[in-house]
Structures are given as structure tokens and as C-alpha cells.
Amino acid sequence: MEQTWDIPLSERINIKVRAQKVDRSDQHPIGIHFAVMGFVKKSAQFDEVIRIDNSLHEGVIGVHIHFFDKAKRKGKTFVEYSKEIISPEQAISYVEGYLKLHYPMLW
């Protein structure tokens, strides 16, 4: 059964987490399928700017980070793979740090 929850960090910054217990495998070594998404409210709605998940991506197994705030990425890749992040808790910390660094005016 999938669980979802929101972590409001400010009136304009929010983290959403989805997690589901699954069998351990190469794709899910800790037995959790997860996605952690960071949102910022720039106008009337929240926009997703970063997502970390451990879904299969372009045939590659592993945790990867999607960056949707393309203007801030200038010349950098929009998807990066991470061997350091293996759990939802680590992904939450990464997303929070990213949002603090790139959107300090919204705190």
C-alpha cells in the first residue's frame, strides 16, 4: 500500500513524499519504492522543481534526481544518478537542501 505525505517548509515551499514497501531487489535494495518531490509556489500554484525517485529510468536501475527548474540548470544535465541517496529520508534531506540553496527568497 502506497503512503503519501506532505512536508510544508514554508508558505511557498512544500515537499511531497510517496513510498511503498516492495520486495528487495537490485532496483529496490532497501525494499522501498519512493519518490520525493520539491515544489515552490511562484504564482497561484505550486510547481515541481525537483524529484528524486528509484523508479527504472531509461533502462537504468538506481536512484536518480530530476531537475525541472531548467533556467537554474544552465548547461547542466536535467537528470543525475546518485549512489549516495538510497532512502526516502536521504532524498528528503537532499530536496530540502536544494530548495534552500536555490530558492532562499521563498523561506
Q: What is the pLDDT of residues 66-105, one digit of tens each?
A: 999 877 777 777 999 999 999 999 999 999 999 999 999 9
35, 52 contact by CB (below 8 A): yes
What's the confidence (pLDDT) of residue 22?
Answer: 97
Rg of the chain over CA atoms, in angstroms? 14
- Give 34's strand partners: 19
Cell numbers linked to 21 = 514497501
pTM of the model: 0.92
23, 32 contact by CB (below 8 A): no
Q: At residue 8, what is the residue type?
A: P
